[in-house]
Chains A and B, each alone.
Chain A
Amino acid sequence: MDMHVHDRRRFLALAAAAASAPLLTACGAGFGGDDKKNDGSAAADVTGSFDWKREKGRTVKALLNKHPYTDALIADLKTFTEKTGIKVEYDVFPEDNYFDKLTVDLSSGRASYDVFMLGAYMVWQYGPPGWLEDLGPWMRNSSATGDEWDQADFFPNLLQADQWSLKAGAPLGQGGQYALPWGWETNVVAYNTEVFNKLGLKPAESFDELRELAGVIKRKAPGAGFDGMYGIAVRGSRSWATIHPGFMTMYARNGLHDFTVTGGKLKPAMNTPEAIAFTQDWAGMVKQGGPPSWTSYTWYQCSSDLGAKKAGMLFDADTAAYFQAVQGASPASGKIAFHPGPKGPDGSLATNMWIWSLGMNARSKKKSAAWLFLQWATGKEHLRKGAITYNHIDPVRKSISQDGAYKDKMKHLEGFIDTFETVVDQTKIQFTPQEQFFDATTSWAAALQEIYGGKNAKSVLNGLASDLASKVS
């Protein structure tokens, strides 16, 4: 009996060893990615004269984020199929899950989606592993790209925002074109004209004035018939998205930087005395004039508070205010005006931006068809229709921003066009491009929350800088 037990034990041990051998063998080849970069672009395979029907009968798969820009695209897809004979299949995910889905999909090394939406910051994360197709060769190939696409018509700062050399700290606008600008947002102040008129207020021209204004609205608006209204809506959740709109815009207008680059090395600069003072002031402004439960505030809450007359001002994407300002969209529609926001001490209107871009999977098997789709989606015809018929506003093309029909559509929004035209040339990505962007900005948002909670700004930001220094070095 004992012998049997020992035999079985030995058998189990052998079976376990046999199972572990292929396991470890498999492990050796188990890394999901592939570090081979696309040296020869598939764009070179496209020859002859340009033809929209070149890939007729193909199907392109797209991954999209739920957004008004996406709605405009989907509504016009029939036009693309008629023009090219290419079918587009798509999946739409809400923003909360969208980037996780995209990241996991791209990192798996599969070509489940040929094209997808992404922000310029994502180029810093998806570019270095070789997941994004360099669209430069496609743009330069006249057989692949029609004349009417007109590259010069894009606002140059937008096209440059998606262009990078993949080297940490290197400026944008050099190297591969890893995505194309499709829709964008500039960060400005939108305000409720009703409460401003009633309290006799004017939009702030300096950061000190803005902080003061936020406090005044919170103190006086409820007594003036705006029940529960607070001063200023800004994002506060523990996410990278908290840092990039109003906060980074005002930070940049104060001449401050996230990192300094010396000899190709990055050094965190969130803890300079000026940066500490600014961050403390920002947290103080939120405390005195911001929303209750600020630490959970995303753009959804900020935007809807402006629309619901809960917030007197919004310092965020102009589109976040636009979707509340259009006729019938919210209780505050018709009473929302736009302003470039406070200037920096030297009069700077440097503004950070967000660009919804379109990119191509470097592992796509249908690159030529995917390029035709990207060309159409970022082309004048579709974008003009999107801007005029749908809500695809803040055009990435100069011609559309100057189009009479577009201006007619936007002119009822007080200050929108003026604000856009005032800041457009000074709007660019104010962050230093580097792969650890999401870690750095998420930690930065957490630090901001701690300072808001009463912790010492200097020690919190010193801790942040020292933590980031080891990660970006």
Chain B
Amino acid sequence: MAETTSFTETDHGAASREEGARQVRAVPRWRRGLRPYLLIVPALLLTGGILYPFGLGLYYTLFDFSASKPRPDMVGFDNYRTVFTQDAFWNSAWVTVLYAVGAAAFETVLGVAVALLLHRSSIVGRVLEKILILPLMIAPVIAAIIWKLMLQPSVGVINHLLKPFGLGGVQWTDTPTGALLSSIAVDVWVYTPFVAILALAGLRSLPTSPFEAAAVDGAGWWYTFRRLTLPMLWPYVLVAVIFRFMDSLKVFDIIYALTEGGPGDSTVVLQIRAYLEAIRFQRYSFGISYTIVLWAVVYLAAMVLVRHLGRIQNRAAEVPK
């Protein structure tokens, strides 16, 4: 029985191979050659879908297209020249960078700290994990509105809570610094859990042996954190930093809902400036020029950070496991 089966299988296998070879031969060479190109068609379509609006936007920036000039003249790079010579642009660029650096820095430090705490605890940690994720489930614009009410000087809960400490009269968003810090605080509230979750995932994936060895050698918590945890965790943290920095450079909703860009121009980031120019003031080409400049900044920043990430990953791989 066993022999019969063995014979049949061998026989069947040979037949299949022969049939397979016949089938391979039956497919014309040109069709086989075409296959790889057909496979990339979806990717090409997707790329086209991304590039088309982008290219169109780029093209529009070469004109003086606005509501009052629906048949515009080509002006070359005049829009960019105007953007770069405006004080308003440099103010917005500065505010955007301050916001992005501030938000990403606070979120990284807090996110990693929270992840370290959650990693140590057990039941409490698991409960806190569920609660911490809540801000991520709220639309940023809603979060900003909630915070706007909480920061309201006379009826807001924040000043009410600060009253016993003699700090009840703070006008949070009425001063340029206050408005920027308040906006960053809302961003931190919404997105710190995102960093914490990524860092926690990283912590849980780290090998245990180096930590056990360090414990046997009597290394302290700070030494272990500095020499082992952080270098090995850094690639995960950097991924979070890249995401948060890119997103913070492109912020609109939180700031617009909280301060509308005020007081004065103190929180008018590039996205808000672009929105005002293109939608409110209907200078379409000029507004798009702002977004293209912002895109270039984000692209360059992303490139630098991703390269740095690659180097960090390689270095992390060298840490003994």
Contacts and interface: CB of A to CB of B under 8 A. Distances in A.
Given A33-B70, A295-B263, A442-B276, A11 B171 contact: no
Given A295-B173, A453-B175, A446 B264 contact: yes
Contacts of B151: 293
A458 B261 CA distance: 22
In this complex, which of B36, B56, B70 has the most chain A Cβ atoms within 10 angstroms of its Cβ? B70
A11 B71 contact: no
Interface string B167-201: 00101111110010000000000000000000000
Interface string B5-16: 000000000000
A228 interface: yes
Contacts of B280: 100, 103, 438-439, 442
Chain A, interface residues (CB within 8 Å), range: 35 or more
Contacts of A33: 67, 70-71
A107 B65 CA distance: 12
Given A23-B56, A30-B56, A100-B279, A295 B262 contact: yes
A292 B263 contact: no
A456 interface: no
A296 B148 contact: yes
Contacts of A228: 154
A463 to B, nearest CB: 8
B310 interface: no
B279 A103 contact: yes
Contacts of A438: 280-281
A293 B259 CA distance: 10
A293 B153 contact: yes
A310 B276 CA distance: 33
B174 A453 contact: yes
Contact of B174 (A26, A32, A293): A293
A228 B156 CA distance: 13
Contact of B71 (A35, A126, A293, A446): A35
Interface in A284-319: 291-296, 310
The interface centre, meaning the residue of B51, B151, B280 with most chain A CB atoms within 10 A of its CB, is B280
A3 interface: no
Interface in A430-463: 435-436, 438-439, 442, 445-447, 449-450, 452-453, 455
Contact of B282 (A23, A103, A452, A467): A103
Interface in A402-441: 435-436, 438-439
B68 A129 contact: yes
A237 interface: yes
Given A27-B56, A310-B154, A294 B174 contact: yes
Given A15-B44, A19-B44, A292-B171, A453 B153 contact: no
B281 A19 contact: no
B129 interface: no
Contact of A238 (B44, B69, B260, B282): B260
Nearest to A33: B70
Given A438-B281, A449-B263, A293 B67 contact: no
A87 B312 CA distance: 66
Interface residues of B, number: 45
A62 B15 CA distance: 73
Contact of B59 (A8, A24, A103, A455): A24
B221 interface: no
B52 interface: yes
A129 B66 CA distance: 9
B70 A23 contact: no
B67 A129 contact: yes
Contacts of B261: 238, 446
B37 interface: yes
Given A27-B55, A30-B56, A439-B281, A452 B263 contact: yes
Nearest to A446: B264
A31 B52 contact: no
Contact of A107 (B40, B71, B282): B282
B152 A446 contact: no
A359 to B, nearest CB: 15
Given A27-B56, A128-B67, A449-B264, A292 B169 contact: yes
Contacts of B176: 453
A107 to B, nearest CB: 6
Contacts of B179: 295
B207 interface: no
Contacts of A20: 55
Interface string A262-277: 0000000000000000
B72 interface: yes
B262 A23 contact: no
A5 to B, nearest CB: 11
Contacts of A310: 154
B247 interface: no
A26 B263 CA distance: 42
B76 interface: no
A104 interface: yes
Chain A CB within 10 A, most for which of B56, B68, B154, B261: B68
Nearest to B63: A31
Interface string B22-47: 00000000000000110010001000
A91 interface: no
Interface in A8-34: 8, 11-12, 15, 19-20, 23-24, 26-27, 30-34
Interface of B: 36-37, 40, 44, 48, 51-52, 55-56, 59-60, 63, 65, 67-72, 88, 148, 151-154, 169, 171-176, 179, 259-265, 276, 279-282
Given A31-B60, A446-B263, A453-B175, 12 more contacts: A19-B51, A31-B70, A35-B69, A126-B67, A128-B67, A237-B260, A238-B263, A292-B154, A295-B179, A296-B148, A296-B152, A450-B265
Closest 5 interchain pairs by CB?
A33-B70, A238-B262, A450-B264, A292-B153, A449-B263
